[in-house]
Copies of this chain bind each other. A is one copy, B any other.
Amino acid sequence: MKARRLTPHRSAVLETIRASRTHPTAAEIYSQVRRRRPGVAYATIYNALDWLTRNGMVSELRLGDEASRYDPTTARHDHLVCTRCGALVDYELPLPHRILLQAGRRHGFRVQYYRLELFGCCSQCAPDSAAPSR
């Protein structure tokens, strides 16, 4: 096989996603990668994202009708989403996953995985009782 596998472009995309703490979109990744590789094409970014996703190096996040965002953490986890600023933070809900996975059986479903997203306001956007303003 002559696959080049983790090519410089793909590597650049991967590094960009890992370096970002915000779960960047393809557009953000594109502009980032463009700095180091000015000639890179948009399609190459999508190509790389597809490849990285298929190879378990990043995971794709789809929330609402926005553009996909990419997450360097591929282990199963949940997300907190700020409905004001759009902040997206990784989160692990301390709930017995088995309950979730067994849950669907009542309806004849054999559940393989699940997705849980919590929406609300982050501390930046909704300074509660003791939080600083903005």
Give the B-binding residues of A (Cβ under 8 A).
62, 64-65, 68, 80, 82-83, 89, 91, 93-95, 99-101, 103-104, 107-123, 126, 128, 131
Contacts and interface: CB of A to CB of B under 8 A. Distances in A.
- The number of times this chain is found in the oligomer is 2
* Chain A contact surface mostly: mixed
Given A64-B62, A99-B95, A107-B91, A115 B116 contact: yes
17 contacts: A80-B109, A80-B111, A82-B109, A89-B107, A91-B104, A93-B100, A94-B103, A100-B118, A108-B128, A109-B122, A109-B123, A110-B121, A110-B131, A111-B119, A112-B120, A113-B118, A114-B119
Contacts of A120: 104, 109-113
Given A89-B107, A103-B93, A115 B112 contact: no
A122 B89 CA distance: 31
Contacts of A118: 100-101, 103-104, 109, 111, 113-114
